[in-house]
Amino acid sequence: MAHLNRWPKTMSTRREIEFRRATLALAADAKAQIALCPPFVCIGDELVIDWGDALDLYRVERTDGFTEEKERAIGVLDQTITRHSGAANARMFCDAAALADDPRWQAVRIAAVAVCAVFGWRIEPPEKSSAVYVAGGRKE
């Protein structure tokens, strides 16, 4: 494990790259978000779960933590997502049309853009995750 300590502090780690990609996915417009997942999944749900997982893994790696400003922005995005969780909000997360027409998604996007800003990330189209989706015996 000592070889890992040779990496420069400025080098992006895989977990940082994944956290950035997941945050950019939440900041993207509905068309870009829909293109990230196959149509048989709950796209909104996948986006927020992916972001939460990426954040958790990146936090484990960041033994020095985040600045107060970064923590605040992450907290706002996390609270924006959490506030709308639960069965009563299933359409927001499971209906692809909600990504475009539900104003709560605009609030998520605004909060995600703020996270990108405090991390110094340029807003650009996100890449697809490396997740493998299986439906009816076929992988996508």
Is residue 3 one of the residues assigned to a domain?
Answer: no
pLDDT value at residue 119? 96
Q: How many domains does the chain have?
A: 1
pLDDT value at residue 140? 56
Burial 3-37 (b: 16+ CB within 10 A, else e): eeeeeeeeeeeebbebbbbbbbbbbbebeebbebb
pLDDT digits (tens, 9 = 90+) for 69-128: 999 999 999 999 999 999 999 999 999 999 999 999 999 999 999 999 999 999 999 888
Is residue 95 one of the residues assigned to a domain?
Answer: yes
Asked if 116 contacts 123 with a C-beta cutoff of 8 angstroms, the reply is yes
Q: Is the pLDDT of residue 11 over 70?
A: no
Task: State phi, psi for 106 to the nearest 5 degrees.
Answer: -65, -40
Is residue 71 one of the residues assigned to a domain?
Answer: yes
Mean per-residue pLDDT of the chain: 88
pTM recorded for the entire structure: 0.85
**pLDDT higher at 136 or 22:** 22
Distance CA 29, CA 20 (A): 16
Is residue 7 one of the residues assigned to a domain?
Answer: no
